[in-house]
Homo-oligomer: A and B are copies of this chain.
């Protein structure tokens, strides 16, 4: 671990410096939204639908208002807010816009949907108030499954979408693809393999649930909304539109956050309702989601169904890929990421790290009477990577080839590579990471341990290869025809009189250590200690705009913007020094120790700042007073791609069907790692979530749409006991497009794990002839397969 100060080589990027966040977080002095207490603060709780699908005939809050401690109760009519509107720049035949009311009015579409907000002097009274609400329903048949949605037999979830399909896109139909499949089927050596895969509905489950503290400020004529969101400017926009305010009348700030994982990158209805109540009451209102709400009524993800088919040549090369993916988006399209996010992501990027010469895909999003979805870490990639990797394994099996070798023959090795999906991939270590991952497991002796171990458990080994588009620039998003194109981000840097700097960013850390990594980036540009750099994030009033943090975009885009702003500031400092020294700016340089060398003289930054602020009459004509610079950054072209190979060793217990992960290896390449330990933390956390999805977690509903996993008794979250130690190896293929060569590292772990675990389980089941293509992998199916074998 490094220490604050000047590093001998003058660089902070790449060093595992102590985290700036740790002193407060480790001492319990962080400020999360629930730590915020304000004078006269009230507490909100929500009256929620008990029906999955019903017309609402009455919402009676009169008893609620009599409950001691209750200050107010508002239904949709009381608050009179405009709906949240989902947008996607697609033609009508591809996208059906729907809107989501802040509080449900005439109809409810999932159990847990908010109908009214109760505000009381303490959270207990608010809950008591909720209990006193009387809601009358006229039930409708719920649409609970993808099949039911597509059957479209009963009342549709939304009148606007009679077939319950919100998105239906067909892309990249390579000319002649049917002939390729026909030829492969007819050929003696070539094969066509199919995978029909289902992935379970999952909850991103940040440690900290959602929450908000809002109050109306009469003096600033502003609604101040402290909320845990990944997208504060989006919350501002939606709140302003719903409440009929100017955007400048809304300020969204984000305190410390205990994770988001995408669940907090769409705008929540509760934060809008609580804020509107605060404005109405002119008192602060707090709402903290409880775990039951988090498990049933927040944003979910991951439930997809793939029907995929691939043709392979006899020597194991992919000839064609044809996929149909249906994504169960639940009851609503959210903002800013609509129901389009999952099918479009899957469609656009499924070929992944492989050379696919012919490709066709249909992607659909269906709406059902379940809680709506948000883009959970990885967004479709864990699923389509799983399907691709199953196709690889199946082809290898049918062709009698080694599955790693088949991958080796298909991964992209020449860069930049223009994919069949019209995406240009920047250089990555696709082959190298595969080779190294296999080598590590070989060196550790795992490759020879296939088969039954001494305890009678079946050992299996699985791999997965993937890339992840991270730095989505405006171009990449525009390609997808998003109504909003969250490409760029902005950073502003200011140097104070004392030579220290403050950097404001439009991205924000919800656990990823940006206060440290961004400080490293800026410190390198200016040649100062990273402890002299303060990062300010998550405040709509402090930066012109920010798209926020999602899609592993923060360091690639936000970090590059901060770097660009720093360089501008450095140029200003050099300009002042040149003027004072009477030399040309080309004769100056930042000295890497907090000063500018100009001719024979060294000017410490504080001395230059003294001129820029207190003696502005001494400035050169081309430098204004004050030391500040703003820069934006937008990744050009199609963005940048991180990549990794995961390898996993499992042991299956024939007595229980249980899966133990014996070893997990991740060879990752996110370009230049700003802070390798932070990258490893991201990888480890992502892998744990991927394993959770592969083996444990699933949100289930009964046939009436009642959630069956409303608590941790039913929703099985793995603990440290179930998550293995993970060996992480780094490769580094620097990105040419970003300031420091970083490519983004936030999501990768989650993407590779389900495929690797599923392949390992299937490897362990190889002798049984059973192949499983669903997550979470049903323990009962494993038990059955192994029992069958025992019995045979």
Give residues in A with beta carbon < 8 Å to B.
Answer: 24, 29-31, 37-39, 217-221, 237, 240, 246-249, 255-256, 474-475, 477-478, 483-485, 487-488, 490, 494, 496-498, 500-502, 532, 534, 536, 541-542, 544-545, 613-617, 624-628, 630-632, 634
CB contacts (< 8 Å) of A478 on chain B: these are: 615, 617
Q: For residue A16, give the distance in angstroms from its CB to the closest CB of chain B.
A: 21
Known: A474-B617, A614-B483, A616-B488. A625 touches B246 (CB 8 A): no
Neighbour of A487 across the interface among B484, B545, B616, CB < 8 A = B616
Starting from the known contacts A247-B496, A544-B627, 12 additional A-B residue pairs (CB-CB under 8 Å) come to A30-B218, A31-B218, A221-B534, A246-B500, A247-B500, A474-B625, A483-B614, A485-B614, A485-B616, A487-B617, A490-B624, A545-B625
- The reply to whether A544 and B630 contact each other, CB–CB distance below 8 Å, is no
The 4 A-B pairs at the shortest CB distance, nearest first, are namely A247-B496, A474-B617, A29-B218, A31-B219
CB contacts (< 8 Å) of A536 on chain B: these are: 220, 541
Known: A31-B218, A614-B484. A498 touches B630 (CB 8 A): no
CB contacts (< 8 Å) of A24 on chain B: these are: 218-219, 221
CB contacts (< 8 Å) of A38 on chain B: these are: 39
Q: Please name 30 pairs of A and B residues whose Cβ atoms are closer than 8 Å in the assembled complex, sorted by A.
A: A24-B221, A29-B219, A31-B217, A31-B218, A219-B255, A219-B256, A220-B536, A240-B498, A246-B498, A246-B532, A246-B534, A247-B496, A248-B501, A248-B502, A248-B534, A474-B616, A474-B625, A477-B617, A478-B615, A478-B617, A485-B614, A485-B617, A487-B616, A488-B616, A536-B541, A541-B542, A545-B626, A617-B634, A624-B631, A626-B632
CB contacts (< 8 Å) of A255 on chain B: these are: 219
CB contacts (< 8 Å) of A249 on chain B: these are: 534
Q: For residue A432, give the distance in angstroms from its CB to the closest CB of chain B.
A: 33
CB contacts (< 8 Å) of A217 on chain B: these are: 31
CB contacts (< 8 Å) of A484 on chain B: these are: 614-615
Number of this chain's copies in the assembly equals: 2
* Cα-based distance from A624 to B502 in the complex (angstroms): 21
* Cα-based distance from A498 to B249 in the complex (angstroms): 11
Q: For residue A235, give the distance in angstroms from its CB to the closest CB of chain B.
A: 13
Known: A29-B219, A218-B31, A542-B541. A497 touches B626 (CB 8 A): no
CB contacts (< 8 Å) of A30 on chain B: these are: 218-219
Closest to A498 in B: B247
- The reply to whether A628 and B544 contact each other, CB–CB distance below 8 Å, is yes
CB contacts (< 8 Å) of A29 on chain B: these are: 218-219
* Cα-based distance from A247 to B220 in the complex (angstroms): 25
* Cα-based distance from A544 to B497 in the complex (angstroms): 10
- The reply to whether B498 and A626 contact each other, CB–CB distance below 8 Å, is no
Neighbour of A624 across the interface among B487, B534, B632, CB < 8 A = B632
Q: For residue A602, give the distance in angstroms from its CB to the closest CB of chain B.
A: 21
* Cα-based distance from A477 to B615 in the complex (angstroms): 9
CB contacts (< 8 Å) of A475 on chain B: these are: 617
CB contacts (< 8 Å) of A634 on chain B: these are: 616-617, 625
Closest to A483 in B: B614
CB contacts (< 8 Å) of A256 on chain B: these are: 219
* Cα-based distance from A498 to B248 in the complex (angstroms): 9
Neighbour of A248 across the interface among B247, B500, B542, CB < 8 A = B500
CB contacts (< 8 Å) of A627 on chain B: these are: 544
* Cα-based distance from A625 to B631 in the complex (angstroms): 9
* Cα-based distance from A73 to B634 in the complex (angstroms): 54
Known: A218-B29, A247-B500, A498-B247. A544 touches B485 (CB 8 A): no
Closest to A219 in B: B31
* Cα-based distance from A478 to B618 in the complex (angstroms): 10
Q: Which of A478, A485, A627 has the most CB of B within 10 A?
A: A485
Q: For residue A141, give the distance in angstroms from its CB to the closest CB of chain B.
A: 38
